[in-house]
A = this chain, B = another copy of it.
Amino acid sequence: MTDTAAAGTRTATQTASKSEQAYAAVKARIVDGSYSPGYRLVLAKIAEDLGVSVVPVREAIRRLEAEGLVKFERNVGATVSGIDPTEYLYTMQTLSIVEGAATALSAPLIGGPDIARARAVNAEMRACLQHFDPVRFTRLNQDFHSILFEHCPNPHILDLVHRGWNRLASLRSSTFRFVPRRAHESVDEHEALLRLIEAAADADEIEKAARLHRSATLDAYLAQNNAGSHNAH
């Protein structure tokens, strides 16, 4: 029902198979948090909700399983995956790696207009911090990074980044809490990142900066939730 992404909705609806429809619908509900981690996905129920039969729903769920958004167990059913903090750690770590790479690959292709757009978004983010609007902040954050990725020439990496974002979104709805102090730093890091890109810095340098940006958020999360197992990097 709640089509968050307005992209191509009209055309898509026309051509969308029921299986696509089910896939998109369930995915959207997971990402936006309607189905939170651990939620039991009953085929028949979803099928009825969507007005289709179970076969396409089942197919959709298996696809989501392959993307890591749901966990599937034989003869038992599917649940939305990723309840524990460990999952969050793994997802963030993976995302920091692919996102760093995507940003580095994309950087040489970013033009002046993109930079300007990114700056505008970042300015809005800063504004959000003042009137405390975490929801909008998160959305803008995604926009900001999307601008940095969108020129990435390697579609596979781009795909991995998007999957990471989706996983993150699904986890975030239940485990993530907004950390204003970290958010301030985040906005500053965005600015630094843009300067690096503008200066046509070394790809390694850009990658490292992008990766650290993400890792820092992970660290902030771990510190806040004082999770004991902080091994990596």
Chain A residues engaging chain B, CB cutoff 8 angstroms: 15, 17, 19-20, 55, 58-59, 62-63, 65-68, 74, 90-91, 93-94, 97-98, 101, 105, 153-157, 159-160, 203, 231-233
Query: A154 touches which one: B90, B155, B156, B160 (CB < 8 A)?
Result: B90
A104 CB, min distance to chain B CBs, angstroms: 8
Distance from A9 Cβ to chain B, minimum over Cβ atoms (Å): 14
Top 8 closest pairs, chain A to chain B, by CB? A66-B66, A94-B156, A97-B101, A63-B66, A90-B154, A90-B156, A62-B63, A59-B62
- Of the A-B pairs whose beta carbons lie under 8 Å apart in the complex, a sample of 13, sorted by A's number, is A20-B74, A58-B59, A59-B59, A59-B62, A63-B66, A66-B66, A90-B155, A93-B157, A94-B154, A97-B97, A97-B157, A98-B98, A154-B232
Q: Which of A66, A68, A91, A203 has the most CB of B within 10 A?
A: A66
Which B residues are CB-close (under 8 A) to A66?
63, 66-67
Known pairs A63-B63, A97-B98; list 18 more (Cβ under 8 Å).
A17-B74, A20-B74, A62-B62, A62-B63, A63-B65, A63-B66, A68-B156, A68-B159, A90-B156, A90-B157, A91-B156, A93-B157, A94-B156, A94-B160, A97-B101, A153-B232, A154-B232, A160-B160
CB distance from A69 to the nearest CB of B (A): 10
Q: How far is the CB of A38 from chain B (nearest CB, A)?
A: 18
Q: Chain B residues near A98 (CB, 8 Å)? A: 97-98
Residues of B within 8 A of A105 (CB): 232-233
Nearest neighbor of A231 in chain B, beta-carbon distance: B153
Residue of B whose beta carbon sits closest to that of A101? B97
Q: What's the least CB distance linking A184 to chain B, in Å? A: 27
Q: Which residues of B contact A59 (CB under 8 A)?
A: 58-59, 62
**Among B62, B74, B90, B156, contact of A15 (Cβ-Cβ < 8 Å):** B74
CA distance A20 to B156 in the complex (A): 25
Give min CB distance, A171 to chain B, whole Å. 12
Minimum distance in angstroms from A126 CB to a CB of chain B: 31
In the complex, what distance in Å separates the CA atom of A93 from the CA atom of B159?
Answer: 14
Hey, which chain B residues are within 8 Å of A232, CB to CB?
Answer: 105, 153-154
Q: How far is the CA of A105 from the CA of B97 in the complex (A)?
A: 11
